[in-house]
Protein backbone atom coordinates (compact mmCIF):
# COMPACT_ATOMS: atom_id res chain seq x y z
CA UNK A 1 0.00 0.00 0.00
CA UNK A 2 2.80 2.45 0.88
CA UNK A 3 4.46 1.81 -2.49
CA UNK A 4 1.22 2.66 -4.28
CA UNK A 5 1.05 5.94 -2.33
CA UNK A 6 4.62 6.86 -3.26
CA UNK A 7 4.05 6.04 -6.92
CA UNK A 8 0.87 8.16 -7.04
CA UNK A 9 2.40 10.96 -4.99
CA UNK A 10 5.17 11.51 -7.54
CA UNK A 11 3.80 10.04 -10.74
CA UNK A 12 0.53 11.95 -10.87
CA UNK A 13 2.05 15.43 -10.39
CA UNK A 14 4.67 14.45 -12.98
CA UNK A 15 1.93 13.55 -15.46
CA UNK A 16 0.50 17.06 -15.10
CA UNK A 17 3.66 19.21 -14.99
CA UNK A 18 6.24 16.79 -16.45
CA UNK A 19 8.85 17.60 -13.80
CA UNK A 20 8.89 21.33 -14.56
CA UNK A 21 9.11 23.65 -11.56
CA UNK A 22 5.93 25.68 -11.24
CA UNK A 23 7.65 28.53 -9.39
CA UNK A 24 9.48 31.42 -11.05
CA UNK A 25 12.56 29.41 -12.06
CA UNK A 26 10.52 27.09 -14.37
CA UNK A 27 13.42 24.60 -14.40
CA UNK A 28 12.72 21.47 -16.45
CA UNK A 29 13.96 19.03 -13.82
CA UNK A 30 13.09 15.95 -15.86
CA UNK A 31 15.23 17.14 -18.76
CA UNK A 32 18.01 18.13 -16.36
CA UNK A 33 18.16 14.60 -14.95
CA UNK A 34 18.11 13.04 -18.43
CA UNK A 35 20.95 15.32 -19.53
CA UNK A 36 23.29 14.87 -16.56
CA UNK A 37 22.82 11.13 -15.97
CA UNK A 38 25.40 9.98 -18.56
CA UNK A 39 27.95 12.68 -17.62
CA UNK A 40 30.94 12.33 -15.31
CA UNK A 41 30.51 13.68 -11.78
CA UNK A 42 32.64 16.73 -12.56
CA UNK A 43 30.71 17.51 -15.74
CA UNK A 44 27.38 16.99 -13.90
CA UNK A 45 28.35 19.66 -11.38
CA UNK A 46 29.37 22.05 -14.15
CA UNK A 47 26.14 21.47 -16.04
CA UNK A 48 23.96 21.94 -12.94
CA UNK A 49 25.79 25.19 -12.17
CA UNK A 50 25.03 26.42 -15.72
CA UNK A 51 21.47 25.13 -16.15
CA UNK A 52 20.18 25.24 -12.56
CA UNK A 53 21.96 27.99 -10.62
CA UNK A 54 19.29 27.97 -7.88
CA UNK A 55 20.01 24.31 -7.19
CA UNK A 56 23.77 24.80 -7.49
CA UNK A 57 23.69 27.64 -4.96
CA UNK A 58 22.68 25.17 -2.23
CA UNK A 59 25.64 22.82 -1.80
CA UNK A 60 23.66 19.96 -0.23
CA UNK A 61 21.17 19.98 -3.11
CA UNK A 62 23.95 20.21 -5.70
CA UNK A 63 25.89 17.33 -4.13
CA UNK A 64 22.83 15.12 -3.84
CA UNK A 65 21.75 15.66 -7.46
CA UNK A 66 25.26 15.37 -8.89
CA UNK A 67 26.01 12.17 -6.99
CA UNK A 68 22.63 10.57 -7.70
CA UNK A 69 20.89 12.16 -10.70
CA UNK A 70 17.31 10.98 -10.27
CA UNK A 71 13.90 12.68 -10.38
CA UNK A 72 13.52 12.71 -6.58
CA UNK A 73 16.77 14.66 -6.19
CA UNK A 74 15.73 17.22 -8.82
CA UNK A 75 12.08 17.97 -8.02
CA UNK A 76 9.50 17.37 -5.31
CA UNK A 77 5.74 17.13 -5.23
CA UNK A 78 4.57 20.01 -3.01
CA UNK A 79 1.25 20.80 -1.33
CA UNK A 80 -0.02 24.18 -2.55
CA UNK A 81 -2.02 24.58 0.65
CA UNK A 82 0.48 23.36 3.27
CA UNK A 83 -0.34 20.33 5.39
CA UNK A 84 -0.26 22.44 8.57
CA UNK A 85 -3.01 24.64 7.06
CA UNK A 86 -5.27 21.70 6.24
CA UNK A 87 -3.82 20.76 2.85
CA UNK A 88 -2.77 17.25 3.86
CA UNK A 89 -4.99 15.45 1.38
CA UNK A 90 -3.10 14.33 -1.69
CA UNK A 91 -5.60 15.59 -4.23
CA UNK A 92 -4.00 16.69 -7.48
CA UNK A 93 -5.64 20.10 -7.22
CA UNK A 94 -3.44 20.74 -4.18
CA UNK A 95 -0.19 19.41 -5.67
CA UNK A 96 2.48 21.06 -7.76
CA UNK A 97 5.99 20.20 -8.85
CA UNK A 98 8.86 22.31 -7.53
CA UNK A 99 12.56 22.00 -8.18
CA UNK A 100 14.40 21.08 -5.00
CA UNK A 101 15.72 24.64 -4.59
CA UNK A 102 12.27 26.25 -4.82
CA UNK A 103 10.80 23.55 -2.55
CA UNK A 104 13.52 24.25 0.01
CA UNK A 105 12.73 27.99 -0.07
CA UNK A 106 8.95 27.45 0.16
CA UNK A 107 9.37 25.06 3.08
CA UNK A 108 11.73 27.46 4.87
CA UNK A 109 9.26 30.35 4.61
CA UNK A 110 6.46 28.15 5.96
CA UNK A 111 8.52 27.43 9.08
CA UNK A 112 8.75 31.09 10.02
Q: What digits encode the pLDDT tens for the residues 39-89?
A: 999 999 999 999 999 999 999 999 999 999 999 999 998 888 887 777 776
41/105 Cα distance (integer angstroms): 26
The DSSP letter of residue 42 is: H
102 and 23 Cβ atoms separated by less than 8 Å: yes
20/6 Cα distance (integer angstroms): 19
For residue 19, what is the enclosing H or E element?
none
Whole-structure pTM value: 0.81
Amino acid sequence: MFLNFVVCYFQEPFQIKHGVCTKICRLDCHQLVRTIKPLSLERRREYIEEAAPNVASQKKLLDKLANNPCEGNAWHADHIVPVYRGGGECKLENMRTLCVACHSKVTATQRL
